[in-house]
Amino acid sequence: MLFEKLPWALRTNVYEVNLRQYTEAGNFAAFREHIPRLRDMGVHTLWFMPITPISVLGRKGTMGSYYACSDYLTVNEEFGTLSEFRELVGYAHEHGMKVIIDWVANHTGADHLWTGTNPDFFIRNDQGLFYDKHGWDDVIDLDYSNAQMRTEMIRAMEFWIRETDIDGFRCDMAMLVPLDFWQEARTYLEQTKKLFWLAECDQWNDPEYLTVFDAAYTWKWMHTVHDYAQYHKPIAELKELLHGYNMLQPADGIKAWFTSNHDENSWNGTEYEKFGGMAIPLAVFSCLWNGIPLLYSGQELPNQKRLAFFDKDPIVWQSECELHGLYKTLLQLKFEHPALDANRSSTLYLHTDHADKMFCFRRMSGHAEVVVMLNFSKWPLQVQLFEDIDLSRFQNIFNVAALSTSYPYTIELPGWGFGVWAR
């Protein structure tokens, strides 16, 4: 069963909010002050990491994991109150933004309310103890063969829609939960409100989840570009992988591109540790390739430190965010340009005389076009574009130097540089 996508989902972007680390206060009230700045930057959808309370039993660090929930129906006091979150959602809506919340359906914290009221909601090991079969020692797994548990889970999700008017869910480790549960949940919940559904699973490994979810991650792409940046893999491997993603079914599954998130930043390194100077052209790719971009808290700074996961470790904001302007241009272009709708335009590679270093493509829908040239190397290049595209008829979005005005076009790009032209 395929669900109809909301029109705005095809050109949205998603900004992940790590509320604990976003400000010194780490609460709804303090984050509210950042909404006008984020709206000016072009952020369209705010994704809040879990806002439910965190279990004490098995807690890691001083504050525990967002993803070890102790009650699906209340707010973590660390962040504020239900009323404050409701008001925050309303404030975001007033600024033309959508709000989705992180939903952890595979497991709960070790002392979740249900362990006392409904212990049969959980699986048990050979010793009869609650446990997590994936080895996470601060959470315990739910039992999806239990029909009552499924019903209560869906009621909990409905609570947040009715009480706070959220616009959708980012579903944690979605592929660990049976697909038929998500189908049941979406079918029921969208009787209340049409929603945006983002799955934390890789389309490459679990494409069937796109029969229910609107969008899913591209983990394999992120790992492959990491290998390109660190181990000098050939660009041909990147193109081959993107072709593979394009062939996945269902064809209208939206691909979510990213270079950082809460897990990657904390455990595997910042985008600058992983990609170096390539982080910037990859940001351009994530915003303008076929799909939608995912951004993480502080990428606009840019944040170049790993944030602690289980302890307080706030982002150090500056008076101005160095990359605010870059993201503003990219996100507004993504939202406004008809050639950049997810899955509703054709995407073609462009040929240059530096095929081993340049990643160039063209997005088209009718007479609307966007041309993107990315230098995936540290070397300054004078690039000849072997395509009969009259760039003088396009708007030069970032004022890249064009050294010729007739075919073949010659364009000068610095190391890790990029150019974008639109009409």
Per the structure block, which two tokens stand in for 104?
A: 């952890």
CB 381 within 8 A of CB 416: no
pLDDT tens per residue, range 351-370: 999 999 999 999 999 999 99
What does the pLDDT read at residue 2?
78
Residue 344 has what pLDDT? Answer: 83
What's the chain's average pLDDT?
96
Cα–Cα distance, 308 to 324 (Å, whole number): 24
State whether residue 167 is helix, strand or coil. Answer: coil
Would you place residue 388 in the very low, low, confident or very high pLDDT band (cuts 50, 70, 90)?
confident
Answer yes or no: is pLDDT of 343 > 90.
Answer: no
Q: What are phi and psi of 203, to 5 degrees?
A: -55, -30
Confidence band, pLDDT 50/70/90 cuts, at residue 402:
confident
- Would you place residue 65 in the very low, low, confident or very high pLDDT band (cuts 50, 70, 90)? very high
Average pLDDT over residues 76-102: 98
Alpha helices in 112-172 (DSSP H): 114-117, 147-164
Dump pLDDT digits (tens) for 149-208: 999 999 999 999 999 999 999 999 999 999 999 999 999 999 999 999 999 999 999 999
pLDDT cut 90: percent of the chain above it: 95
**Side chain identity, residue 415:** G
Q: Number of C-alpha atoms within 13 angstroms, CB side, residue 375? A: 19
For 17-52, what is each residue's pLDDT tens digit?
999 999 999 999 999 999 999 999 999 999 999 999
Rounded to the nearest angstrom, the gap between the alpha carbon of residue 328 and the centroid of all alpha carbons in its chain is 17
pLDDT at 83: 98
Judge whether residue 419 has pLDDT over 80.
Answer: yes
168 with 48: CB under 8 angstroms? no
Q: In whole angstroms, what is the distance from residue 385 CA to residue 354 CA?
A: 9
As a whole number of angstroms, the distance between CA 281 and CA 374 comes to 6
* Position 407 confidence tier, pLDDT thresholds 50, 70, 90: confident
Q: Is residue 1 predicted with pLDDT exceeding 80? A: no
pTM over 0.85: yes
Q: Please say whether the beta carbons of 55 and 108 come within 8 A.
A: yes
Of the candidate ranges 59-68, 253-262, 355-364, 387-396, the one whose mean pLDDT is the lowest: 387-396
109-123 pLDDT per residue, tens: 999 999 999 999 999
Check residue 141 and report its DSSP letter.
Answer: E
Burial degree of 387 (CB within 10 A; 0-12, 13-18, 19+) = middle
Give the model's pLDDT for residue 147: 98
